[in-house]
Structure 1
Amino acid sequence: MKALGFPKSARLLRPADYSKVFDDVQLKVPHRNFLILATPNDLGHARIGLVFSKKNLKLAVQRNRVKRQVRETFRLQSDLPGVDIVILGRQGLANLDNQTIRDSLNDLWRRLKKKYHQSSPSRAAESRPAGRGTG
C-alpha cells in the first residue's frame, strides 16, 4: 500500500512564509466559512498554511478536526499550481459536519485553480509548448 503523507515541503513553516502571502496577496478565494489567500512561488508545487482562531472555533477539538479536513483535501489535489496558500477559518465552521467541510474545500480548490489560470495567462503560455520555432 502506498504511503500517503503530508511532507514538510507541502507546508508553510516559518512566519516569513506566512508574511509573504499576507503582504503580497495575488489570489483571493472567498467563501462563507473560509478565505483562501495565495501568491505564486518558485518551487513548482503548492504549499499550505492554516489559520484557525479560537474566536471562530472555540474548542481545540473543533480546530483540529477542521485542520485535518483541510490538509486531507489539499493532499488529494494533485494539480494545484505552484502557489503558497493560507487558509483562514471564518465563523460558523464549528457547526458544519465533515462532509460539508470537504465539499466546500473541494469547491474552493477548483475555484483557486480557475482563478490562477485566468489571472496568469503568461504562466499558462509558458507551460504550453511553442507552436513554431525559428530556423
Structure 2
Amino acid sequence: MTSARLPRAARLTRAADFAALGRDAAALGTRHFVARYRFSPSGHARMAQSVSKRVHKSAVQRNRIKRQIRTAFRLRREHMPALDMLVIARTTAAAADNRVLAADLAALLQRLAALKLQHAPGTMPG
C-alpha cells in the first residue's frame, strides 16, 4: 500500500518560503479556492494549504477540505511546473461536497499547470 502523504520535498515548510509567497506572488482563484504562487527555486512543485476557522468552526470540516487539497495536488504534482503555491480555502468551500471541491481543485491546478513561467529554465525572456 502506498502512502497518501505528500513527501517533505513537495511541501512548503520554511517561514521564508511563506514570506516570499506573501511578498511577490501572483494569485489565481476559483469559486472555493485561491492559490498564491511563484516560481520555485527548488525546481519542482511544492504546496502548502490554509483552511482557517473562518471557513468552518468544526475541525472535522476543515480537515475534510485539507484532505481534498492534498489529494488533488498529490495526484497532479508530477505534471505541475516548478511552482511554490499556497492554496487557501474560501468560506464557500465548507458548504460544498467532496465531488464539487475535487472538481474545483482540478480546475485550479489545471490552470496553474498551464502557466508559462518567466523564470523557467530554457525559456526566452519576453
Give the TM interval when normalised to the shorter protein: 0.7 to 0.9
1:79 match: 79
Could you tell me which runs of 5 or more consecutive residues in structure 2 were left unpaired when the two chains were aligned.
none
| SS of match in other structure, 1:92 | helix
Q: Which of 1 and 2 has greater Rg?
A: 1
Cα distance in structure 2, aligned partners of 1:49 and 1:97: 21
1:131 match: none
Percent identity over paired residues: 34
Give the superposed CA RMSD: 2.0
1:123 match: 120
Alignment of 1:20-99 (within 5 A): 20-25=20-25, 27-77=26-76, 78-99=78-99
Runs of 4+ in 1 over 6 A off after TM superposition: none
TM-score between the two structures when normalised by the length of structure 2:
0.88
Deviations 1:32-65 (A, max 9, x none): 2110010101212111011111011221001100
* Higher normalized contact order (CA 8 Å, seq sep 6+, divided by chain length): 2
Could you tell me which runs of 5 or more consecutive residues in structure 1 were left unpaired when the two chains were aligned.
128-135
Cα distance in structure 1, aligned partners of 2:80 and 2:92: 27
Alignment size in residue pairs: 123
Cα distance in structure 2, aligned partners of 1:9 and 1:100: 28
| SS of match in other structure, 2:37 | strand
Deviations 1:75-111 (A, max 9, x none): 0112101111001111111111111100000000111
TM-score between the two structures when normalised by the length of structure 1:
0.82
